[in-house]
Chains A and B, each alone.
Chain A
Amino acid sequence: MTMRIPILKLKDYLLVSIQWELDDQTALQFQEDLLTKIHETSARGVVIDITSIDFIDSFIAKVLGDVIGMSRLMGAKVVITGIQPAVAITLIELGIQLDDVMTALDLEKGLEKLQQELGD
């Protein structure tokens, strides 16, 4: 009963909005789906919006960090947007630093950041 997270294409970008609590299988499936989609669409940038996510544990953080690194290997930049205050607080307290991860307040600012980064 693995759920698939929809990945939308917008010009050179991919947009993802994670709308529900991630279980392990959904998170791993997403990793694979995103990389496949980058490959299929030659996307140069990805925005992953996690506004609806109210907690992130070390496993989800690792999956997210990994997929960002994997996307970078394929030539696509990833911006995470919509990290809630409670998520930021618990991630740091837990001792997880998502270093080298581009973030922005919301989807709109995330897209702006990608455009700057990619010189569009």
Chain B
Amino acid sequence: MEIQSCVTILNEWDIVAARQLGRNVAKELGFGTVDQARITTAISELARNIYLYAGQGQLCIERLHEQSKTGLRIIALDKGPGIADIRKVMEDGFSTSGGLGAGLPGVRRLMDDFKIDSNPGEGTDIRAIKWLR
């Protein structure tokens, strides 16, 4: 069972809206304060990446209920320039914007599961899950 809510990212205010949405859902699902902070931070980084690199896109939050597990999935979608070398952006310390936003390895560390799919010229699709412990 999946319930999805989305925020369209067009400007800096939408980054705030996206993390508020994520924090509310995280609270509702019963995540503790540390995991709420992890989720909120991860959303903020991903939403900022959309704003900085793609100009616009969508940040969606899904509530996951699988068998005995409950989780939250962040989906960051854009039709921006895409990423040519995914391995490189997943290396710590790599940034094309001088340290603003970026931080995909950081987002991976904050979440339990992290998938990235991107093709140059087609956009980027990032999905990250945090499971309730």
Residue numbers of A with Cβ under 8 A of B are: 21, 23-25, 54-59, 62, 84-87, 89-90, 93-96
Q: Is the CB of A58 within 8 A of B34?
A: no
Q: Is the CB of A23 within 8 A of B100?
A: no
Q: Is the CB of A87 within 8 A of B37?
A: yes
Q: Is the CB of B34 within 8 A of A86?
A: yes
Q: How far is the CB of B72 from chain A (nearest CB, A)?
A: 15
Name B's interface SS.
Answer: helix
Give B47's nearest chain A residue, CB to CB.
A57
A56 to B48, CA, bound (A): 13
| Chain B neighbourhood of A21, CB < 8 A | 16, 19-20
Q: A55-B44, A59-B44 are in contact. Are A90 and B37 (CB under 8 A)?
A: yes
Q: Could you pull out 21 A-B pairs where Cβ atoms are within 8 angstroms?
A: A21-B20, A23-B13, A54-B40, A55-B37, A57-B44, A57-B48, A58-B99, A58-B102, A59-B44, A59-B100, A62-B99, A86-B34, A86-B37, A86-B38, A89-B38, A90-B37, A93-B110, A94-B106, A94-B110, A95-B103, A95-B105
Interface residues of B in 18-77 (CB under 8 A from A): 19-20, 33-34, 36-38, 40-41, 44-45, 48
Closest 6 CB pairs of A and B: A86-B37, A94-B106, A57-B44, A55-B37, A24-B12, A86-B34
Is B81 an interface residue, CB under 8 A from the partner? no
A15 to B100, CA, bound (A): 27
A93 to B42, CA, bound (A): 11
A88 to B98, CA, bound (A): 23
Is B9 an interface residue, CB under 8 A from the partner? no
A68 to B103, CA, bound (A): 22
Is B129 an interface residue, CB under 8 A from the partner? no
Within 8 Å by CB of A94, from B19, B36, B100, B109, lies B109
Q: How far is the CB of A62 from chain B (nearest CB, A)?
A: 6
The residue in A25, A84, A90 that gathers the most chain B C-beta atoms within 10 A of its C-beta is: A90
| Chain A neighbourhood of B36, CB < 8 A | 54-55, 86
| Chain A neighbourhood of B92, CB < 8 A | 95
Q: Is the CB of B101 within 8 A of A59?
A: yes
Within 8 Å by CB of A90, from B12, B102, B110, lies B110
| Chain B neighbourhood of A95, CB < 8 A | 92, 103, 105-106, 109
